[in-house]
Amino acid sequence: MLAQLETILYRIGAFILALISTFSSLLGMRGGGIPKEAATEDTLCMTIAAISDTHVGKDAIGAAFLTPGMRDISDPSLDVDAVLFLGDNTDNGNVDNWEVFTKSVTANCKVKNKIVLLGNHDTWISYDTPHVYEEGLKNYLHYSNLIMGTNNTLPYFTRVFNGYWFICLAQEDTSVSATISDTQLNWLEEQLRLAAADGNGKPIFVLLHQPMNFTHAVGDNLNNNGINDGQSKKLQAILDRYENVFYFSGHQHYGLNDGTDQLPAGFSTVEHVGRNITSVNFPAFGRGSYFDGGDPLIGDGLIVNVYADRIEFLGRNFVAGGWLDFNQTVYFTGITE
């Protein structure tokens, strides 16, 4: 019975995907095109596919979108080196949700290097019972370690792919906004020091599900969205001491925007923050944009092309397998080689 229901739901999902593919050209997508072909081969160092807020539940609908998304990310024409899942991977971080998410990713994503961040929804086992952080953390560690091939015992960790450092942060309670302990911030500072020494001017990626306060149209912590208890300022001050820091977040569900035409006022996907931080807020893969003017389609994310002197952010709908009308480039400073 359950299998039959899943099959029916999968077919409904597939039908919706067909509709998306049919009408995608009306919504600003441009078909085909391989970023690396347009690039100078000898300067393209890494291609990242990054998505956030997949919000996979226990039913088959979440997987119906995630599965074609994973297949698109694995397409050889994209030549992706690493995949980032920026949190709220599950709608509730219980075993049922994680099983659906993990099976879809492991069966369909052929890219070896993966990062799975903790999001606030991943710390919520149920909407009906009090949230207990330790329960969500236990499930997150079990399934994220399975997917990443790691043995992490903490939700914050570092991975190095193609010589680039990805320093991954995590909230330490079950609130919507992030609580980051001084212990974690001290750890971050040490990781940044090591990354800078190793990278010699290369960009350093710092990942947290929530954006910093006063970025991406996020207010202070009263908005219950960014980072709690003054930790956002401390985090930004630490990041500001280093060159070419790229801070990736999700959480907002605001879609993709170049800062000109989308609610809420002032939201921009790629922002310059502080002295030399580039903050990038990713759309909600599993939800579409909450706001008028944003792309309502499920499956949006970014292809991030890392060159020797710049990073290029290209919008892509991974479910329909088409490019979006979003393309922004950030050049580095402080290159010493």
Helix (H) or strand (E) holding 23: helix 2-23
Stretch that binds Fe ion, among 50-58, 131-139, 257-265, 308-316 (CB under 5 A): 50-58
Virtual torsion, Cα 220, 222, 227, 230, nearest 10 deg: 70
Which of residues 158 and 269 has its CB atom nearest to Fe ion in the complex?
A: 269
Per the omega criterion (within 30 degrees of 0), is the bond before 76 cis? no
CA distance 159 to 182: 21
Q: Give yes or no for residue 53 binding Fe ion (CB under 5 A).
A: yes
Task: For the segment 170-229, give every residue that binds Fe ion (CB under 5 A).
Answer: none
Which of residues 91 and 271 has its CB atom nearest to Fe ion in the complex?
A: 91
Which of residues 174 and 244 has its CB atom nearest to Fe ion in the complex?
A: 174
Residue 286 CB, shortest distance to Fe ion, in Å, is: 8
- Cβ(164)–Cβ(203) under 8 Å? yes
Which of residues 89 and 184 has its CB atom nearest to Fe ion in the complex?
A: 89
Which of residues 55 and 202 has its CB atom nearest to Fe ion in the complex?
A: 55
Q: For Fe ion, how many residues bind (rule: CB under 5 A)?
A: 2
Stretch that binds Fe ion, among 88-96, 174-182, 210-218, 225-233 (CB under 5 A): 88-96
Which of residues 176 and 308 has its CB atom nearest to Fe ion in the complex?
A: 176
Stretch that binds Fe ion, among 9-17, 86-94, 172-180, 313-321 (CB under 5 A): 86-94
Q: Which residues pair with 273 in a beta bridge?
A: 277
Stretch that binds Fe ion, among 33-41, 51-59, 158-166, 194-202 (CB under 5 A): 51-59
Q: Give yes or no for residue 88 binding Fe ion (CB under 5 A).
A: yes
Q: Give yes or no for residue 300 binding Fe ion (CB under 5 A).
A: no
Which of residues 87 and 199 has its CB atom nearest to Fe ion in the complex?
A: 87
Question: If DSSP states are collapsed to H, E and C, what string results for 199-224?
Answer: HCCCCEEEECCCCCCCCCCCCCHHHC
CA distance 215 to 239: 14
Residue 192 CB, shortest distance to Fe ion, in Å, is: 27
Which of residues 72 and 88 has its CB atom nearest to Fe ion in the complex?
A: 88
Residue 225 CB, shortest distance to Fe ion, in Å, is: 11
- Cβ(195)–Cβ(165) under 8 Å? yes
Residue 93 CB, shortest distance to Fe ion, in Å, is: 12
153 burial (CB, 10 Å; 0-12 / 13-18 / 19+) is: exposed
CA distance 271 to 278: 6
Residue 253 CB, shortest distance to Fe ion, in Å, is: 6
Q: Which residues pair with 51 in a beta bridge?
A: 85
* DSSP states of 107-137: HH---SEEEE---TGGG-S-SSS---HHHHH
Stretch that binds Fe ion, among 17-25, 45-53, 70-78, 297-305 (CB under 5 A): 45-53
For 233, phi and psi rounded to 5 degrees? Answer: -60, -45
Residue 67 CB, shortest distance to Fe ion, in Å, is: 20
Which of residues 88 and 271 has its CB atom nearest to Fe ion in the complex?
A: 88
Stretch that binds Fe ion, among 53-61, 63-71, 106-114, 299-307 (CB under 5 A): 53-61
Q: Which long-range contacts (CB under 8 A, 24 or more apart) does 238-242 make?
A: 238/185, 238/188, 238/189, 238/192, 239/192, 239/206, 239/274, 239/277, 240/274, 240/275, 240/276, 240/277, 241/192, 242/192, 242/195, 242/196, 242/204, 242/276
Q: Give yes or no for residue 122 binding Fe ion (CB under 5 A).
A: no
Binding site for Fe ion (CB under 5 A): 53, 88
